[in-house]
């Protein structure tokens, strides 16, 4: 099953839209500031995945909707409690979200959406991308996880970034989900560190040696982020951007 981030957006990070690439950018994928993205969007909000209803081909979503619970609306209809995000087809900036298991909490995202011209009651992602990952830190505050994937931003986020202790379960990622080049770049930037699970540390192999499958199951933990408050300021939204019913 392909999810919104893995592997699709990891490939984007290392693809033509990545900084330093000599290849031409695809239409709508050039760097934009958060203020520009917020102006383009009809709806901007912090939201959490509740459910998905996708048509799949070989376990890959090819069309359908995701339903996200709105936690904090920043622009658009402030009365929306559940937002439907529709996507169709496979393309560079596709807007599919990972489903959650019954007993898991959904991932959180900062959404940048536009009205669906054919169905005004639902939304679609912007051509430049639709969401960035949001994690919860140990002080129960929201932060944008670095590196940002899915959007090519011109804002100097690294200048605002700081090392964080995330308590969010989605702050841990399996090594198999990261292309080696991306993993090495993130390690060099201090954006991830090795994370040893309790199960791995409590079950050594024969004679106390590491288990043979330890490398294959290695986990990494994200360590860098930008507080949602600072990120929100870069969007330069006005109180009038929130519409009440």
Q: Lowest-pLDDT range, 89-98, 119-128, 235-244?
A: 235-244
User: Which residues, at least 6 apart from 69, have a Cβ–Cβ distance to it below 8 Å?
Assistant: 47, 48, 50, 81, 82, 106
Residue 91's pLDDT band (boundaries 50, 70, 90)?
A: confident
85 CA to centre of own chain: 15
The pLDDT of residue 5:
41
Kindly compute the dihedral angle of the four CA atoms of residues 165, 167, 169, 173, in this order, to the nearest 10 degrees.
Answer: 10
Residue 198 has pLDDT above 50, yes or no: no
Q: What is the CA radius of gyration of the chain?
A: 19
Q: Are 237 and 74 in contact (CB under 8 A)?
A: yes
Mean pLDDT across 94-104? 88
Distance between CA atoms of residues 230 and 112, nearest Å: 17
Q: Are 32 and 80 in contact (CB under 8 A)?
A: no
**β-sheet bridge partners, residue 66:** 52, 85
Q: Are 73 and 2 in contact (CB under 8 A)?
A: no
Q: Give pLDDT tens digits for 130-164.
A: 999 999 999 999 999 999 988 999 999 999 999 99
- Output the CA–CA distances (angstroms, integers) from residue 74 to 15, 36, 43, 56, 240, in the order listed: 30, 15, 8, 32, 10
Could you tell me the strand order of the sheet in which 172-174 lies? 172-174, 219-222, 192-195
Average confidence score pLDDT of the chain:
82
3-state secondary structure of 20: coil
Choose between 16 and 180: higher pLDDT.
Answer: 180
Q: Lowest-pLDDT range, 4-13, 91-100, 232-241?
A: 4-13
Positive or negative CA dihedral for 230, 135, 215, 179? Answer: negative
The pLDDT of residue 30:
72
The pLDDT of residue 80:
93
Question: Looking at the domain 8-237, which fold is it?
Answer: OB fold (Dihydrolipoamide Acetyltransferase, E2P) (2.40.50)
The pLDDT of residue 113:
97
148 CA to centre of own chain: 7
């Amino acid at each position: 099953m392909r999810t919104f981030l893995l592997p699709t957006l990891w490939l984007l990070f290392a693809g033509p839209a990545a900084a330093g690439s000599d290849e031409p950018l695809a239409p709508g994928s050039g760097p934009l500031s958060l203020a520009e993205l917020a102006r383009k969007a009809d709806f901007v909000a912090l939201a959490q995945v509740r459910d998905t209803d996708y048509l799949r081909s070989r376990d890959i979503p090819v069309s359908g909707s995701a339903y996200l619970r709105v936690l904090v609306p920043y622009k658009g209809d402030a009365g929306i409690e559940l937002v439907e995000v529709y996507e169709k087809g496979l393309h560079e900036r596709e807007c599919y979200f990972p489903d959650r298991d019954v007993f898991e909490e959904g991932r959180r995202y900062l959404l940048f959406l536009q009205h669906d011209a054919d169905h005004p009651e639902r939304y679609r992602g912007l051509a430049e991308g639709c969401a960035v990952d949001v994690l919860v830190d140990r002080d129960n505050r929201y932060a944008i996880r670095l590196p940002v994937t899915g959007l090519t931003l011109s804002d100097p986020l690294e200048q605002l970034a700081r090392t964080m202790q995330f308590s969010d379960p989605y702050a841990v990622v399996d090594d198999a989900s990261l292309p080696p080049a991306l993993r090495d770049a993130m390690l060099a930037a201090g954006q991830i560190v090795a994370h040893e699970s309790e199960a791995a540390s409590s079950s050594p192999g024969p004679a106390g040696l590491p288990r043979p499958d330890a490398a294959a199951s290695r986990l990494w933990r994200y360590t860098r982020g930008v507080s949602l408050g600072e990120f929100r300021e870069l969007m330069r939204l006005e109180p009038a951007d929130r519409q009440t019913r």
